[in-house]
Copies of this chain bind each other. A is one copy, B any other.
Amino acid sequence: MATTDYEAVPAVERDDAAPHLGTVVMKFGGTSVADPDKLKHVAGRLVAAREGGSRVVAVLSAMGSTTDELLDLARQVSRRPAPRELDMLISVGERISCALAAMAIHDLGHEAISLTGSQAGIVTDTVHGKAKIVDVRARRIHEALDQDRIVLVAGFQGVSADSFDVTTLGRGGSDTTAVALAAALGAQVCEVYTDVEGVYSADPRLVPNARKLDVLTYEEMLEMASSGARVMATRSIEVARSHNVRLHVRSTFNDAEGTWIREEDGTMLEKALISGVVHQREETVYRVTGANASRLFGKLADASVNVDTIVQTGAEIVFSAPVEDRPDATRALDELGVSWSARDDLGKVSLVGAGMKSHPGVAAKTFATLEAAGIDAPVVSTSPIKIACHVPSADVDRAVQALHEAFELG
């Protein structure tokens, strides 16, 4: 059977075997299901959605620190646990959450069924620990929905097409499970529940008058997620964009409208110039000379270094990557035999907004704002909808506040 790579194919692939009207996929992260009381609360939300008339598919993460506790056990028995066995081990956390949620839903008088990634038809490649979804065979989900059940799917995991082994999807895996299911089921919306009310114009802990954003384009959300907004995994937003899955990021704890993420359309033409300011307090910035760019970034990709910004001027290539990737990056650069240096004292502030595409003055105003605040920006990179400035880590908070103020985002 031909398979669809859900994480790569840029087309809407829908399973037309069953009616789609009114299906909603609801994803809850680990903090939303951290203990039995929180699980019961989530069960109540799922029942409310069902009673509202939707066909409900929920994707749950593992409870609180379950996965970390399992990883700790693994470290106690093995210096370097085999990836296949690690996946077998850590995939149990989401199953526990789903089975418990199904029980809690039964107690509320509704039918529910929990499904493992495998039972839910989440078919992946065999790259244990960071598997990619290649197909969703949703027969059991359709059957259960047709039987008027709330369906609970264990996030973050699947089954390998070749070997029928349990696989896990790596960082942001549950978000990706939810979006892939929403695409396969033709869901009306994929709701991502979190402990904040949506995506904000800046981190409210830094900027007290930060504003909740009503709507973002996929591109804006991608830029924001990859520049420091932690509300959804970048990878899952890419899948949503490829398959045109409407996302709604909202609070687990109240019914307020959150932030919608969808394709740009006529109603969004008048939207604000800038949507928000996102930041990362630290990132490692590398300067490399004497390297061939394609060999350099091929090597870094093989070493699983998550390269973020790349800026090239002349013979020097500058790129940034997460601080925790430094050991892998160091090994890769040394093996390449290039001349390089790195600094760990920079963070990053990014202005994101689809509106800036047609407003060339944004960059100038950004630089003027930072200059007025006495903040140096040694590395700058831009995309059509983003300006990212690396600034000293110590100045990140002030830079966010100054830009949020200057662009009147409050």
Contact = CB atoms under 8 A, between A and B. Distances in A.
B96 A79 contact: no
A107 interface: yes
A262 B76 CA distance: 39
A39 B104 contact: no
Interface in A34-53: 36, 39-40, 43
Interface string A83-94: 011101100100
A36 B73 contact: yes
Interface string A56-89: 0000000000000010011011111110111011
Contacts of A99: 74, 85-86, 88-89
A310 interface: no
A102 interface: yes
Contacts of A164: 119
A285 interface: no
A114 interface: yes
A95 B88 contact: yes
Contacts of A321: none
A113 interface: yes
A409 interface: no
Contact of A82 (B73, B77, B103): B103
A131 interface: no
A106 interface: yes
Contacts of A113: 84-85
A167 B269 CA distance: 55
Contact of A104 (B77, B114, B166): B77
Interface residues of A, number: 38
A89 B78 contact: no
Contacts of A92: 92, 95-96
A307 to B, nearest CB: 31
A182 interface: no
A166 B77 CA distance: 27
Contacts of A98: 88
A207 interface: no
A95 B103 contact: no
A317 interface: no
A103 B119 contact: no
Nearest to A37: B76
A103 to B, nearest CB: 4
A100 interface: yes
Rank and list the top 9 A-B pairs by shortest CB-CB distance, nearest first: A36-B76, A78-B103, A89-B99, A92-B92, A88-B99, A77-B104, A81-B103, A85-B102, A85-B99
Given A74-B103, A77-B103, 15 more contacts: A36-B73, A36-B76, A43-B77, A73-B100, A78-B103, A78-B106, A78-B107, A80-B106, A81-B106, A82-B103, A85-B99, A85-B100, A85-B113, A88-B95, A89-B103
